[in-house]
Amino acid sequence: MSATAASGTRTLQPVALVVLLGGGILLALAVLSGSPVPVFAALPLLLAPVAALAAGPKADAAADLSWAIEGGGAAIDVRGTLRPRAPLDAENLSIRFYRPPALEELRPPKIVRAPDAIEFELAWRAPFPLLATIPRPEVVWQDPLGLVAFGVTLDSPALRLERFPPEARRLGSVRLPHTTLQPGEIRSRNVGPSGDFFSVRAAGPTDTPRQINWRATARTGRLLANDYYLERTGDIVLLLDLRPSSLGVVRDSTLLAIARAGALGIASGFLSEKARVGLGLFDEFLTAVPLGSGRIQRYRIAQALQKATLAETPGPSERLAVSMRRYFPYGVTTVLLSPLADDEALLVVTHLQRRGYPTVVLSASPMPLFASPSPNASPEAEAALRLMRLVRRRRIGEAWRVGPVVDWEDYWSLAPFVRFLSTPARPSRGGA
């Protein structure tokens, strides 16, 4: 039986109303017919909801939920334990889970009841890289007859699901140009073996004894290491084009979910190597997270990406390039995540390049979202798919005239992108 009740509230279920109504009608029949027999049927029906209310928890019903996401890649296993606080018992608790719409269910939830706890296991699958929030389950105490429900309060947070291609972790090895000085940064004249001294940081397990700053360590009582500029990577801006395209809302939303996950993966990869990462979200106007580094910056970027949705009113491409000036310095490496589904998307690259932002396009291809040709597919459908592939190839070719493009067709792999960034740039032959 699935009951609903907001946490901390008690509600009579529709069944209880039917039972009470039935009892009332039987009483009325007894009066009208002059027979006491219906009264004996009405009595249990009228008493049952009262008994259910009396048997329910008196004060705020609460339970402790400990849960976590396990598994890797496409596999998402949510495991947890729900422990009701006294005087609640686990027997009469029902638990309802909310699955984010993008995820697919592999198996029905597995729920094991013990006298003092409920253990559960959910097996889901992510069809593509995505960021999602798994809301807390709804836990309801319900009497055995299902007449009354009490919402049980849980104080555990919702779970954040982040699934992105594993290659994003290797992005930290890519050298990026350092475009601006950090706040308060002053170039030192004492150039060390690894370049200018930058700062003192907490030592890691991979630091050699020569990297340890022994004086600072003696002063603070914990291992500190020197940090040099050449060990640091530079700056990168991730730019998401949120404008709707001719692909339609459903495919646009899917591609945006993939781009959000990819952006967070790329940001995490660079931030783990102390690079500065910025984020731009362009719908009608540009929303920016300025360049920054560290775990807080990752949190900021994750928050902004979680909120990113398809634009209702698309802005002109030039506005994006102009707005970039307000937040990001010239010359910063820019990764534009766009499906390049329209010619308008191509214009963004042109404008960004003209305004001085070296842009790499990471284009999540819409082709895997179209049905793959089956053996029974009609010749017309196959021809249409082939035409779409040609159009896609032509559009990417046009984009290559302006800037490099990485076609992201296998959503679970960023290997082509990592390979492209790791390859040293060749001098242009055109002399431009």
Partner 1 sequence: MRPVGVPVPRLLAAELPALVPLALLAVLWASDPIAALGLVAGAAAAAIVIRRLVPDGGREFSAIPLLGAVAYLSITVPIGPATDGLVGISALGVLAWFALADAQEVRPGPLLGAMVLPALGLGIALSVSILFPVARQSVGIAAVLLVGALALLAWSLLQGAPEPASEAVPPSL
Which position among 64, 91, 104, 382 is part of the footprint of partner 1 (CB under 8 A)?
A: 91
Q: Determine, following the binding rule CB under 8 A, whether residue 38 of this chain makes contact with partner 1.
A: yes
Which position among 8, 9, 40, 246 is part of the footprint of partner 1 (CB under 8 A)?
A: 40
Cross-strand bridge partners of residue 282:
241, 286
Q: What is the DSSP letter of 173?
A: G
Taking every pair of Cα atoms in the chain, the longest distance, rounded to a whole number of angstroms, is: 108
Q: Determine, following the binding rule CB under 8 A, whether residue 35 of this chain makes contact with partner 1.
A: yes
Q: Determine, following the binding rule CB under 8 A, whether residue 144 of this chain makes contact with partner 1.
A: yes
Q: Which is nearer to partner 1, 56 or 339 (CB)?
A: 56
Q: Determine, following the binding rule CB under 8 A, whether residue 138 of this chain makes contact with partner 1.
A: no
- Segment near partner 1 (CB under 8 A); pick from 48-56, 97-105, 161-169, 348-356: 48-56
- The amino acid at 1: M
Which position among 52, 271, 352, 406 is part of the footprint of partner 1 (CB under 8 A)?
A: 52
Closest distance between partner 1 and the C-beta of residue 17, in Å? 8
Q: Determine, following the binding rule CB under 8 A, whether residue 117 of this chain makes contact with partner 1.
A: no
User: How far, in Å, CA of 377 to CA of 369, rounded?
Assistant: 16
- Segment near partner 1 (CB under 8 A); pick from 24-32, 179-187, 358-366, 400-408: 24-32
Site size toward partner 1, by CB under 8 A: 41
User: How far, in Å, CA of 31 to CA of 9, rounded?
Assistant: 36
Closest distance between partner 1 and the C-beta of residue 81, in Å? 20
Closest distance between partner 1 and the C-beta of residue 102, in Å? 22
**Residue 129: count of CB within 10 angstroms of its CB:** 26
Which position among 19, 176, 238, 258 is part of the footprint of partner 1 (CB under 8 A)?
A: 19
Q: What is the DSSP letter of 7?
A: B
Closest distance between partner 1 and the C-beta of residue 120, in Å? 14
Q: Which is nearer to partner 1, 34 or 101 (CB)?
A: 34
Q: Determine, following the binding rule CB under 8 A, whether residue 405 of this chain makes contact with partner 1.
A: no
Q: Determine, following the binding rule CB under 8 A, whether residue 116 of this chain makes contact with partner 1.
A: no
Phi, psi of 130 (to 5 degrees): -160, 165
Cross-strand bridge partners of residue 110:
121
**Residue 126: count of CB within 10 angstroms of its CB:** 22
Going by C-alpha positions, the residue among 226, 233, 217 that lies closest to residue 191 is 226
Q: Determine, following the binding rule CB under 8 A, whether residue 112 of this chain makes contact with partner 1.
A: no
Which position among 20, 42, 348, 405 is part of the footprint of partner 1 (CB under 8 A)?
A: 42
| Contact indicator for 179, 236 with CB cutoff of 8 Å | no
Q: Which is nearer to partner 1, 52 or 134 (CB)?
A: 52
| Contact indicator for 269, 169 with CB cutoff of 8 Å | yes
Q: Which is nearer to partner 1, 144 or 397 (CB)?
A: 144
Going by C-alpha positions, the residue among 219, 304, 220, 236 that lies closest to residue 270 is 236
- The amino acid at 302: A
Q: To which residue do tokens 């290797």 refer?
A: 170
In a 3-state reduction of DSSP, which class is residue 100? coil
CA distances from 402 to 119, 336, 346, 396, 427 (A): 55, 13, 9, 10, 16
Q: Which is nearer to partner 1, 147 or 236 (CB)?
A: 147
- Segment near partner 1 (CB under 8 A); pick from 28-36, 177-185, 328-336, 371-379: 28-36
Which residues would be at the binding site for partner 1 (CB under 8 A)?
Answer: 1-2, 14-15, 17-19, 22, 25-26, 29-30, 33, 35-48, 50-55, 58, 91-92, 143-147
